[in-house]
């Protein structure tokens, strides 16, 4: 497989500018900035000298390392994965690990829809549907989340979006319903009333909603971003990255298919003389 190479990368699927988390792509090192707070818990005087008890505590527990998350994935799925898929999966799980353990991270169904969309695009054409599902399970479990919840929530949002149009999609706040409630909760948190961590998976989830509702006009995306209190400029930038990645992924899969077809033809050509020799040998023995 040395003849098949690809240059696409999913390293852009996370952000490094968050205060709680820093990523240095040049040195390939990761650094967590953990909030640290101190408070006084007691003061007493003895022999004219003041003694003060100072207690410090971290605002977050130590998250698992990237290596631990990757190891959990490899333990959960032990079968070999073709390199064209495995290379991207390994990079993708590193990026999602960084998203997952940011202090502001909170799971939401729109994020899940975005990830499931990316995963299905990546694994399209995988040799075995059963293995593809098993890899998904191992991947999400390695991040200490529920793969079934990802699937259920993504399907729920997809079914809802198919029943929407350009108008109803952006007017979710004026209606009641399960998905409408999910979107309202996101809008409140993104507006500063709770934990919200924007990511490119979130942007891809938005794009999927628009796609399924057949509401691809730029003005609809702008209105939907405003309704969710999300920066449209960030969404536009991240969707451009996503489209570019998909294009490169398609090219890489085409290269793989060409390589497999070429190798198959070579094997067939090598096998033809051998079959002919076997036929001649069999004919000679038959004439004896």
The whole-number pLDDT of residue 250 equals 80
The whole-number pLDDT of residue 287 equals 63
Dihedral, CA of residue 212, residue 218, residue 224 and residue 225, to nearest 10: 120
Contact 203/193 with Cβ under 8 angstroms?
no
Task: Write the pLDDT tens digit of every residue in 168-206.
Answer: 999 999 999 999 999 999 999 999 877 888 999 999 999
Alpha-carbon dihedral sign for residues 12, 14, 20, 23: negative
Q: What is the mean pLDDT of residues 44-57?
A: 41
The whole-number pLDDT of residue 164 equals 95
What's the rounded Cα separation, in Å, for the pair 39 and 56?
7
What's the rounded Cα separation, in Å, for the pair 52 and 39?
11
- DSSP E strand boundaries for 19-158: 21-24, 29-32, 36-46, 49-58
Packing angle between helix 232-287 and helix 218-228, nearest 10 degrees? 120
The whole-number pLDDT of residue 40 equals 35
The whole-number pLDDT of residue 67 equals 96
The whole-number pLDDT of residue 60 equals 46
Which pair of tokens denotes residue 69? 């998350």
Find where tokens 């991240």 sit. 238
What are the contacts of 118-124 at 24+ separation with CB within 8 A? 118/13, 118/92, 118/201, 118/204, 118/242, 121/246, 121/249, 122/85, 122/88, 122/89, 122/92, 122/249, 123/85
- What is the maximal distance between C-alpha atoms in the chain? 119
Alpha-carbon dihedral sign for residues 88, 89, 92, 94: negative
Instruction: Label each residue of 205-222 as H, E or C.
Output: HHHHHHHHCCCCCHHHHH
Q: What is the mean pLDDT of residues 80-93?
A: 90
Closest C-alpha among 144, 85, 61, 158 to residue 116: 158
Statement: residue 283 has pLDDT above 70: no
The whole-number pLDDT of residue 228 equals 95
Closest C-alpha among 29, 150, 187 to residue 98: 29
Task: Write the pLDDT tens digit of every residue in 11-44.
Answer: 444 443 333 333 333 333 333 333 333 333 343 4
Which pair of tokens denotes residue 47? 């022999």
Q: How far apart are the first and last CA of the chain?
A: 46
Contact 106/20 with Cβ under 8 angstroms?
no
Query: What pTM did the predictor assign?
Result: 0.71
């Amino acid at each position: 497989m040395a003849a098949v190479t690809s240059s696409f990368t999913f390293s852009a699927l996370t952000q490094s500018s968050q205060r709680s988390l820093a990523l240095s792509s040049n040195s390939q090192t990761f650094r967590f900035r953990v909030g640290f707070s101190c408070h006084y818990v007691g003061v007493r005087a003895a022999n004219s000298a003041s003694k003060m008890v100072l207690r410090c505590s971290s605002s977050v527990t130590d998250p698992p390392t990237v290596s631990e998350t990757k190891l959990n994935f490899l333990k959960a799925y032990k079968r070999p994965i073709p390199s064209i898929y495995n290379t991207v999966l390994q990079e993708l799980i590193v990026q999602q690990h960084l998203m997952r353990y940011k202090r502001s991270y909170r799971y939401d169904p729109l994020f899940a829809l975005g990830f499931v969309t990316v995963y299905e695009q990546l694994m399209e054409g995988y040799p075995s549907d059963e293995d593809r599902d098993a890899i998904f399970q191992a991947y999400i479990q390695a991040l200490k989340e529920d793969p079934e919840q990802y699937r259920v929530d993504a399907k729920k949002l997809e079914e809802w979006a198919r029943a929407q149009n350009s108008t109803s999609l952006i007017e979710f706040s004026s209606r009641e319903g399960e998905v409408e409630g999910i979107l309202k909760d996101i809008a409140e948190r993104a507006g500063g009333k709770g934990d919200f961590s924007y990511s490119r998976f979130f942007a891809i989830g938005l794009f999927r909603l628009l796609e399924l509702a057949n509401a691809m006009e730029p003005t609809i995306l702008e209105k939907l971003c405003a309704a969710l209190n999300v920066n449209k400029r960030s969404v536009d930038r991240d969707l451009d990255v996503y489209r570019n990645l998909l294009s490169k992924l398609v090219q890489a899969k085409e290269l793989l298919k060409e390589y497999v077809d070429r190798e198959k033809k070579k094997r067939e050509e090598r096998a033809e003389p051998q079959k002919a020799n076997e036929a001649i040998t069999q004919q000679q023995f038959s004439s004896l």
